[in-house]
Amino acid sequence: MTFPENGLFPAEISGVDTRKRKRPPTNHIRERKKQRVVSSITDTMEVIYRDLFDLVNYTAPDHGTAPPLRHLEGQPQEVSNSFTALTDLLLDDLSDSAHKNVVSELVGAYWTSVHASGFNFRPVGAEGTPTRSDSEAVVSGNHERAGMLMSRFMKTTDPKVRYYSAFALAVVWSRYWRLAQECGWKTVAVLLHSPRFRDFARAANLTRWRELMKLVRANVMSIQLLGSFNTHWYAALSDAIPDTDEVLTELERIDYEGHYHHWRVPNDPNSREAEEHDKAFEVGDHTRIGRDGKAFAVDPRLKDGAFNIAQPCGACGKTSGECRCNLENWSPARVELIGTSGRGTGVRALQSFKAGEIIGEYVGELISNDQPEEENDVYVLWGHKNSPATDCYSTTSYHYGNWTRFVNHACDPNCTIDHVARRGKILSVYRITKDIPMFEEITTNYGIGYFLGRGLKCLCDAETHLHPDM
Ligand SMILES: C[S@@+](CC[C@H](N)C(=O)[O-])C[C@H]1O[C@@H](n2cnc3c(N)ncnc32)[C@H](O)[C@@H]1O
């Protein structure tokens, strides 16, 4: 018996006849199809992240903890026995017995997926006891062999349904297993909390699964970091896996309420050499009025009729005039700090953004426009005497700021600084200028002068730079 690569469920079950093959697509069409798969996988990853964010932020009203996975609760004894037996066998291959709890989570989530797939399985009982060669089949990804194993765990009246559905289950199991081998137990445990991820694991499309795995592999550290902030099962993980803290110690923490945004995920090992100025830097969301609070008697951003001189607010959808938004109305942009090659720390999106969206306020110390010691400051957002919005002040995030100070320059950027009006006050904000997918770096245009003035080489990946000497 043979199995279709991209349609593991036979026509009789899935309703799609995968045997009627069309002419293979040309390279061009294939490429376009692949592009579509990749972007839809990115969308899926985003939903997975959203699921995880919800979980991380979840507080149950009664017990103050995240909801437990359903595991094998309420399943017939024989089912849990069979799966526990298989788990134990698989665990034998792990020298570190501390992984046991996570594997149990895995089995639980696996069973949840299986159960939700809607097939009506019933356990076979003693016949379902797995053997060592069964577990080897699962681990080595021998789906056909593993399918036979799985078929012993259940009985249905129709042998075809039994065989194919067992095969499908084996595929799901071996996907989880492989993922655990490649990306670690913690990643699996984090991802399995996402219903969307579990849907994906049992979907029949192998290409999409592979693309998703590529993304997972590339983002293991971010996924684990995010998961680490769910205190409920983080505690369980700490008990189960002694090296849970390793993920966090591998990251450089920028101290601010332990928020994941402010951990630096190293992409490039060389980028971890912290620059001198970072050491003195504090992250906060409040702008200080001048160095040591002395430069201005009153907040220089307060302007009469501010909306006449600043861009209208894009956050609330109002396109003209001053809106009634508070900054607190803005939902925080999901971004994280990353190490880059040669450009220090950067910021990347953990969600897709649409052109026009405001993603954050550039905060820091307000200094007068002519403070000479700031001339070489790499973090100054210069005001201009000809600009009514910022005619008497500049903003520097050299000592104080938030994640926006880490936005790097690109010659073909996706973000810009705008000045918007809020209740008579001018605020400097980052606004997205073109739609960007999740995981893309957020960049802005510093201006040619920034690079030429410092003799700095632009290391952005644009084919042509804004100036030949950059
Ligand atoms: C406002 S900071 C951005 C955050 C900075 N990467 C960091 O780690 O603190 C500006 C500095 O980042 C670096 N940088 C940003 N964009 C760059 C680019 N396209 N090419 C080279 N260096 C860049 C330069 O060192 C620049 O002075």
Mean predicted confidence (pLDDT) in 402-423: 90
**Tokens coding 177:** 């297993």
Ligand 1 touching residue 264 (CB < 6 A): no
Measured from the CB, is residue 458 less than 6 Å from ligand 1? yes
Atom number of ligand 1 nearest to Cα 458: 20
- pTM reported for the whole predicted model: 0.77
Average the pLDDT over each of 10-19, 141-150, 312-321 and give the range with the smallest value.
10-19
Cβ count within 10 A of residue 365:
24
Using the predicted structure, report yes or no on whether residue 342 has a pLDDT greater than 80: yes
Q: How far is the CA of 466 from the centre of ligand 1 (A)?
A: 16
Q: Write down the pLDDT at residue 353.
A: 92
Sequence-distant (≥ 6) Cβ neighbours of residue 34 within 8 angstroms: none
Ligand 1 pocket residue status of 379, Cβ below 6 Å: yes
- The average pLDDT across 127-145 equals 61
Amino acid in position 32: R
Range of lowest pLDDT (47-61, 138-152, 433-447): 138-152
The Cα 147–Cα 298 span in angstroms is 73
Query: Of 117 and 139, which is predicted with more confidence?
Result: 139
pLDDT tier, 433 (very low <50, low <70, confident <90, very high otherwise): very high
Predicted confidence at residue 461, as pLDDT, reads 92
Give the confidence band of 162 by pLDDT, cuts at 50, 70, 90. low
| Residue 418: predicted pLDDT | 87
In the block, tokens 């060592």 appear at 132
Task: Judge whether residue 153 has pLDDT over 70.
Answer: no
| 459 C-beta closer than 6 A to ligand 1 | yes
Q: Identify which has the larger pLDDT, 379 or 138.
A: 379
pLDDT at residue 427 in the model: 86
Q: Which of 34-48, 178-192, 216-230, 256-270 has the lowest mean pLDDT?
A: 256-270
Question: 87 pLDDT band (50/70/90 cuts)?
Answer: low
Mean pLDDT of 183-187: 77
Q: Which residue has the higher pLDDT, 262 or 29?
A: 29
Closest CA to 49 of 164, 156, 194: 194
pLDDT of residue 457: 93
Ligand 1 atom 27, closest CA: 378
Calculate mean pLDDT across residues 357-374: 78
Which range, 114-123, 326-335, 378-387, 408-417, has the best average confidence (pLDDT)?
A: 408-417
The average pLDDT across 334-360 equals: 87
Higher pLDDT, 470 or 110: 470
Distance 408 CA to ligand 1 centre (A): 5
Please tell me the least confidently modeled range out of 53-57, 115-119, 127-131, 189-193: 115-119
Q: Over the chain, what HEC string results?
A: CCCCCCCCCCHHHHCCCCCCCCCCCCHHHHHHHHHHHHHHHHHHHHHHHHHHHHHHCCCCCCCCCCCCCCCCCCCCHHHHHHHHHHHHHHHHCCCCHHHHHHHHHHHHHHHHHHHHCCCCCECCCHHHCCCHHHHHHHHCCCHHHHHHHHHCCCECCCHHHHHHHHHHHHHHHHHHHHHHHHHCHHHHHHHCCCHHHHHHHHCCCHHHHHHHHHHHHHCHHHHHHHHHCCHHHHHHHHHHCCCHHHHHHCCEECCCCCCHHHEEECCCHHHHCCCHHHHCCEECCCCECCHHHCCCCCCCCECCCHHHCCECCCCCCCCCCCECCCHHHCCCCCEEEEECCCCCEEEEECCCECCCCEEEECCCEEECCCCHHHCCCCCEECCCCCCCCCCCCEEECCCEECHHHHCEECCCCCEEEEEEEECCEEEEEEEECCCECCCCECEECCCHHHHHHHCCCCCCCCCCCCCCCC
- Cα–ligand 1 centroid distance for 275 (angstroms): 11
Nearest alpha carbon to residue 252 among 335, 344, 185: 344
pLDDT digits (tens, 9 = 90+) for 89-130: 656 655 444 455 555 555 555 555 555 444 444 444 445 555
Ligand 1 pocket mutation pick from 408, 463, 467, 469 by most atoms within 8 angstroms of CB: 408
For the chain, give the mean pLDDT: 70
| Among 40-44, 251-255, 291-295, 372-376, the least confident range | 372-376
Total residue count of the chain as it appears in this document: 470
Judge if the beta carbon of residue 396 lies within 6 A of ligand 1: no
pLDDT band (50, 70, 90) for residue 323 = low
Calculate what percentage of the chain has a pLDDT beyond 70: 51
Q: Given this model, what pLDDT does residue 304 score? A: 77
CA of 162 to the centre of ligand 1 (A): 59
Ligand 1 atom index nearest CA of 346: 6
CATH number for the domain whose boundaries are 260-454: 2.170.270.10
* Region class of 31: left (phi > 0), else alpha (psi between -120 and 50), else beta: alpha
Mean pLDDT of 169-198: 76
Q: Would you list the domain boundaries of the chain?
A: 11-240, 260-454
Question: Measured between alpha carbons, how far is 388 from 390 in angstroms, rounded to an integer?
Answer: 6
Residue-level pLDDT at 118: 45
Cβ of 347 less than 6 Å from ligand 1: no
Mutate to test the pocket of ligand 1, among 378, 400, 403, 443 (most ligand atoms within 8 A of CB): 378
Confidence of residue 416 (pLDDT cuts 50, 70, 90): very high
Tens digits of residue pLDDT in 247-280: 666 666 665 555 566 677 776 555 444 444 555 6
Sheet holding 263-265, edge to edge: 252-253, 263-265, 335-339, 345-349
The torsion angles phi and psi of 138, rounded to 5 degrees, stand at: -65, -45
Q: At what angle do helices 27-56 and 195-202 cross, to 10 degrees?
A: 140
Return the minimum-mean-pLDDT range out of 26-30, 90-94, 208-212, 300-304: 90-94
